[in-house]
């Protein structure tokens, strides 16, 4: 690990001023950043500690019925907040399926959204990686890559985004609030992460020095509470990143789907919103045939980036399963194994 300066700002303005200096990195829980520093992937010259900034660690009910989540709110605190969990159950289920209990107690909202890929070639400084060293190449191509992207990838990068939390947030039209040297702005989370294309080293729309201060869910998102699920398939039951995952949220009225949201995880460099599949489901009966067709539409543009053709069919099945579970109704209590396709349904239904 290289030597670095440490800065402890007291206000967001001070943090942004420090973060705008070349070589700076923002530090919250450090559950991802410190690991990358230890293996030499991240080498910041200055750490700007956000843990002493007031006002970034609250969950706020908004007058319009939405909710605002500060960037320093811990994953565990958000997932276990009863009011939040009842209004946004798929988000809570996604949070509780990620990492371990100890990490969820530390990891923050902002840090989760900004975590780096877990691609083995990105994390190995002896491997060529355009994301870590632009122009060096991508050793994931043609090597062990069964867990890599099947949507939105390019010749420059086939890595996937690791966040579970992001997937239902994208489905529910979450908004990012950002402070930076040029002032305040907001960005839909669906537009926040970037696909690799020609600049795989640029993973989000954040400009130098910009800081995520909060996340908002609109009031319409709570309208899916009665029929919302997150399903995650991984290579072991806990403490593993998704091979593929899906968030499905439905509003069912008079035996028809009045609104549908579907997003996929583990398939691209960003959480993948399946808008064509959502449009297909509008007005359809919440039945197996519609869910299978919607899942097929969601993966229509998928193509293998290597030895991962199986992920396309797997993602299709997980998407259909998430829709099926959402239609059946949100459980009153989360399963003992949140988001696992092997978890039995507990208790009665939500709402």
* In the chain, where the domains are located: 5-49, 224-328
Which of 318, 309, 218 is CA-nearest to residue 263? Answer: 318
pLDDT of 349 > 90? The answer is no
**Mean pLDDT of the region 190-201:** 96
pLDDT of 267 > 90? The answer is yes
**Mean pLDDT of the region 160-185:** 98
pLDDT of 340 > 80? The answer is yes
What angle do the packed helices 310-328 and 288-298 form, to 10 degrees? 140
* Arithmetic mean of pLDDT over the chain: 96
**Mean pLDDT of the region 252-280:** 98
* DSSP 8-state secondary structure symbol assigned to residue 198: T
Q: What are the strands of the beta sheet with 67-70, ordered from one edge?
A: 59-61, 67-70, 211-217, 175-180, 183-188
Query: Distance between CA 337 and CA 314 in Å, rounded?
Result: 20
| Cβ density class 63-98: b for 16+ within 10 Å, e for less | eeebbbbbbbbbbbbbbebeebbebbbbbbbbbbbb
DSSP sequence for 215-249? EEE-GGGGGGGGGEEEEEE-SSSSS---SEEEEEE
In this prediction, residue 343 has a pLDDT band, given cuts at 50, 70 and 90, of confident
Which of 301, 305, 299, 304 is CA-nearest to residue 320? Answer: 299
What tens digit of pLDDT does each residue of 20-71 get? 999 999 999 999 999 999 999 999 999 999 999 999 999 999 999 999 999 9
pLDDT of 351 > 70? The answer is no
In this prediction, residue 144 has a pLDDT band, given cuts at 50, 70 and 90, of very high
What tens digit of pLDDT does each residue of 103-121 get? 999 999 999 999 999 999 9
Report pLDDT for 336: 86
pLDDT of 346 > 90? The answer is no
Phi, psi (deg, nearest 5) at residue 129: -150, 115
Which numeric CATH code is attached to 224-328?
3.30.390.50
**Mean pLDDT of the region 195-219:** 97
pTM of the entire predicted model: 0.96
Residues 6 or more apart whose CB falls under 8 angstroms from that of 133 comprise none
Report pLDDT for 35: 96
Residues shown for the chain: 351
Phi, psi (deg, nearest 5) at residue 176: -95, 135
pLDDT of 1 > 90? The answer is no
Residues 6 or more apart whose CB falls under 8 angstroms from that of 34 comprise none
**Mean pLDDT of the region 62-88:** 97
- Please say whether the beta carbons of 118 and 162 come within 8 A: yes
In this prediction, residue 200 has a pLDDT band, given cuts at 50, 70 and 90, of very high
Residue given tokens 């985004």 in the structure block: 161
**Mean pLDDT of the region 333-339:** 90
**Mean pLDDT of the region 244-271:** 98
**Mean pLDDT of the region 172-192:** 98
CATH of 5-49, one of 2.130.10.10, 3.40.50.300, 3.30.43.10, 3.40.50.970: 3.30.43.10
């Amino acid at each position: 690990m290289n030597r670095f300066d440490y800065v402890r700002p007291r206000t967001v303005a001070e943090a942004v001023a420090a973060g705008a200096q070349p070589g700076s990195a923002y530090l919250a829980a450090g559950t991802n950043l410190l690991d990358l520093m230890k293996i030499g992937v991240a080498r910041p010259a200055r750490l700007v500690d956000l843990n002493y900034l007031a006002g970034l660690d609250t969950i706020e009910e908004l007058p319009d019925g939405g909710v605002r989540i500060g960037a320093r709110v811990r994953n565990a605190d958000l997932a276990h907040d009863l009011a939040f969990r009842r209004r946004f159950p798929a988000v809570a289920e996604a949070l509780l399926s990620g990492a371990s209990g100890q990490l969820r107690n530390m990891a923050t909202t902002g840090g989760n959204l900004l975590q780096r890929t877990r691609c083995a070639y990105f994390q190995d400084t002896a491997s060529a990686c355009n994301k870590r060293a632009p122009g060096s190449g991508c050793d994931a191509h043609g090597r062990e890559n069964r867990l890599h992207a099947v949507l939105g990838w390019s010749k420059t990068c086939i890595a996937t985004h690791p966040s579970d939390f992001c997937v239902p947030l994208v489905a529910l039209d979450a908004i990012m609030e950002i402070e930076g040297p040029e002032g305040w702005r907001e960005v839909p989370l669906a537009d926040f992460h970037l696909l690799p294309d020609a600049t795989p080293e640029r993973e989000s729309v954040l400009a130098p020095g910009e800081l995520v201060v909060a996340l908002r869910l609109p009031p319409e998102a709570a309208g899916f509470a009665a029929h919302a699920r997150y399903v995650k398939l991984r290579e072991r039951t806990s403490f593993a990143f998704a091979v593929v995952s899906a968030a499905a949220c439905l509003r069912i009225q008079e035996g028809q789907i009045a609104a549908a949201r579907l997003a996929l995880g583990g398939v691209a460099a960003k959480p993948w919103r399946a808008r064509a599949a959502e449009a297909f489901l509008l007005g359809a009966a919440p039945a197996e045939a519609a869910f299978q067709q919607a899942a097929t539409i969601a993966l229509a543009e998928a193509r293998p980036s290597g030895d991962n053709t199986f992920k396309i069919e797997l993602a299709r099945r997980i998407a259909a399963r998430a829709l099926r579970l959402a239609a059946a109704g949100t459980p009153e209590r989360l399963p003992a194994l949140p988001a696992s396709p092997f978890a039995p349904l507990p208790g009665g239904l939500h709402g």
